[in-house]
Amino acid sequence: MNTKLSVLAPVVIFALFSSPLSLFGEIHSGQFWLDTRIGWEFAEGPGSPGTQGNIEFLDESKRFVLNYDFEKGGEYVSASRTLEDIEASESLTGVEMLVWGPGGPVYLALVDSTDQVFTYLLGDVKDDNQHALRNNLEDPESVSGGAGDKKMHFPLKGIRLIIKKAEPMTKGKVTFERIALTSPQYQLP
C-alpha cells in the first residue's frame, strides 16, 4: 500500500465524520450547501384541496425538481427538510439558491426553535432560465406561530421552499440547486 495513502486515510475519515455538517452538505467559502438529495419532503399546502405534485430527485446532479399541478385546486406546494441536524446559528446572514422555472413565485420559510415561521419572497420565476435567488433574512413577508415575537430564535428547526399558484400557470415545475445557508461560521480554515 502507498505510504502516503495509509497516513492520509485516517485523517480523511476523521474529517468526514468529525463534523455533523459533512453528512448533510458541503462548506463553500462562507456558505453551507444543503444536500438536495437527502431529507427533502413534498407537501401540499394545508387547506389547499386538489393540489397535486411531487419532488423528483435528479441522481446525476445536486438538484431536485418540485412539480406542481393546481388544475384541480390548491394554492401552493412545498419542499421541506429539517435543519435540526445542521448548526444554523445566530450568525446566519442569508439563504441563496439557483432556480429554473417556469414556475411562478418562489418563497422561503424558516422555522425557528419556537416553531415561529418566517416567510420571505425570493422571486418570481417565469421562464426556464437560471435565476440566482437570495434573501438576507430581513423584513419577512409574514411571521406566524411559535413565540409570536417576530424575532428569530436559534437553532432553526426547518426550511421550506414554496411555490404559490400564479395564473395562468397552473401546472409546472421548478428546479432547485445549491441551496445555501450563508454565515461567517461556515468559513473554511
Residue ranges covered by each domain of the chain: 27-186
**Whether pLDDT at 83 is above 70:** yes
**Whether pLDDT at 11 is above 80:** no
pLDDT at residue 95 in the model: 93
pLDDT at residue 102 in the model: 85
Instruction: Name the band, by pLDDT with cuts 50, 70 and 90, for residue 29.
Output: low
DSSP 79-148: EEEE-TTS---TT--EEEEEEE-S-EEEEEEEE-TT--EEEEEEEEE-SSSEEEEEE-S-S-SEEESTT-
Class of domain 27-186: mainly beta
